[in-house]
Structure 1
Amino acid sequence: MARKRKRTKKSKRTRRAPLRVLLQRGDEAWRRGREADALRLWERAWEKTPTPELAAALGELYFRRGVRAVVAGSGGDDALLNGLADLERAREFLPGDERPLYHLGLAHHRLGDLQEAQALYQRVLELQPGHRRAAYHLALVAIEQGRDPVQSPAWALLTPAQQTDLESAWHLLRKQGRRLLNSPDTVHPLWVGLAALDGWRADKNRAKQTLEQVLAQEKDGTPRSRLARIYLGNLLWPDDPLAAARHWDRATRSPVPPWVERNRAVGANLLARRALETGDPHAALPYARITLDYAPDRKSYREVMAHIHFLLGNEAAAEEQWRRALAHREEARRLGGGSQPLFHNLALGYEHLSAARRSFPACGNCWVTIWGWSLAAPSIPVRSWHWEQRFRRPSSPVSRWTPSWWT
């Protein structure tokens, strides 16, 4: 009988062991920053034995991952939708915590679902009546729905500066900008500058002066400074597009409306070209990436990026970094930079790597392509090329390429 009882205790320990192992491994993964592993292990433990401690841990993990995804995502993309799913899961595990509700409200607000955002902000205020950020966004929802924010139940929670900003925005939306111009001492210069642009008799000089005053007063990156830079860029674009592009670039380092993204891409393209004209492809590269992120198939943007990789390939070749040079040149060819100088430099690069077996046909095909252009004849396929039969190549060590937009 005692022996049988001993087996029973051992079997119970065996049944309990997997849960302890899951919790221990989950804790270890969490401490080491492997959130995906911790989430998987804790979910399995939750299926076995739900506990309040495990619910708190899972809720915190889902909350953090959801906030990161929402911040990184844009309207309608997978990151934002995955973030919404994680925040909903965090809401289930943390029913009394207002944080998942608030960030869910921000996400729905960003997607344009004003009714859902309003309900979530109100729920946050029910859980924490003094939540000023939820009160502020609730007043913003009222403005977007065409309602006076002063009538919002959360109006009393806002600071005087927030109330002034929201009232000014409400007047601008109702085409009452003249009211702001008549009382410039009681409102922020940002709203005076925007009001100067309101109506068919816009005072662009006054708008420019007041918006520049905003940049002098506000720290860079604040909502007011970003908005001032966006409209300053619009004002400067006809006369000084380079300055406008710089304003848009600095204003769009966090999520902005789609029309501002378009302006940023146009400005970034201009900045990339200016950097190339000064011979600095490294400075042009981040701007060209912005343009391709916005419109990856636009021919003019792809040509600028192709020329950047062409120049970076030449730099690497000058340092005898042939693999890096070929990587840049192949990327230039992928982007549509099918010029004779590019194929010439590709052939030279592959010739320097001729010890690698696969370099022979690639090099030969590049020389054949150049020869075909010179004879106005079609290129010979790679499979029919023999290294010993290569055509005489140009003597120049590196060819230069001037793109069509270079003036």
Structure 2
Amino acid sequence: MHDIRTIRDDPQAFDAALARRGLAPVSPQILALDEKRRAQIAAAETAQAEQNRASKEVGAAKARGDDAEFERLRALVSETKADIARMQAEAAALDNQLRDLLMGIPNLPLDRVPDGKDEDDNQEIRSWGEPRRFNFAPVEHYEIGGVKSGMDFETAAKLSGSRFVVLKGGVARIHRALAQFMLDLHVEKHGLQETWTPVLVLEEMMVGTGQLPKFGEDSYQTREGYWLIPTSEVTLTNTVHGELLDHASLPRRMTAHSQCFRSEAGSAGRDTAGMLRQHQFEKVEMVSITDAESGLAEHERMTRCAEAVLEALGLPYRTVVLCSGDMGAGARITHDLEVWLPGQDRYREISSVSYCGDYQARRMNARYRPEGGGRPEFVHTLNGSGLAVGRALIAVLENGQQVDGSVDLPAALHPYLRGATRLGADGTLS
């Protein structure tokens, strides 16, 4: 959520930043509503002062026996009390309207973010690894001989419908090993605190990280009113919801492995084959909570943490900075990691690492005490995939596939598979 004072101070700059996202100016609407709200508050305060003055005079009139003045002043106090209640109610309603309006406006891109409309305008920062040259035509993950028996879409469709999968045998073991490997790397090498969180959250938590109110169609809600998390960014970030932190406790760096749930609204017809786009999937998420000065440096650090996973697995990738028109609503800058998928002969996103500034913190009312004292400030938040487990599985299978339908597995996973180095053409590990 945005600071109304920033919009008051420079509405033209605010609208110019939103224009980079392809949005129309909104500052006139915001400022008109804000002015009306402030006027109503001022009127209520003036009426309150008048009521307080009249209340004192009521006692004085009674003491001197002036019955006519006493009745007049008492009627004035009663009338003013009703006016104050009405004004305060109107001010509260306007305040809610303003808050709802500000809640629906995306974050402002940093100056360093390239301008653009969509993914075609994203810019590559760096790349790592060379795509493997095959002496046969590589296939997509679900077409690999040794994978077919362990990736059951038909049974999943019977159980739950489309865009679900049942993993079995060696494929399920590799999937589990990937999550464990990622957690260990982030905890032991990158200094993140392993965390386990619920997958059902209160609506207020979804509002805090920006999934609500604008993007509710992308998530699932239970009949009891709980929301299924689309990523553990929601729970990890909201651990500081409503908190006032000591500066010495920052940064807070957390990682969690969780089930994630997305309705994939608006993605009809996209990536319907295989595991690339599912309603239920797993991620190892990273979240950092920092002070205002450290956010951008932490963004680079977090990007390197995600890149380290791909490098340890020997998976070629490229890192791109998203253009202004392709970023998520809560981000000020986002780095996407795209892993090479030989079955598709292209790079596909496997991680997004975003710096949100104080945008989420304002929604959560999460602050910290500055080191040298002074007024509390809002924390800055960051989140990133470290990585999407299903997409990592896809990349491992496709990059390691052999002509006979077997898959050579990355050395980093061997200890997690009790020494197994290969998924055989029959779907077993050896």
Greater CA radius of gyration, 1 or 2?
A: 1
- The higher relative CO (CA closer than 8 Å, separation ≥ 6) is in 2
**More strand, by proportion:** 2
TM-score by length of 2: 0.19
Q: Which has the higher helix share?
A: 1
Task: Give TM-score scaled by structure 1 length.
Answer: 0.20
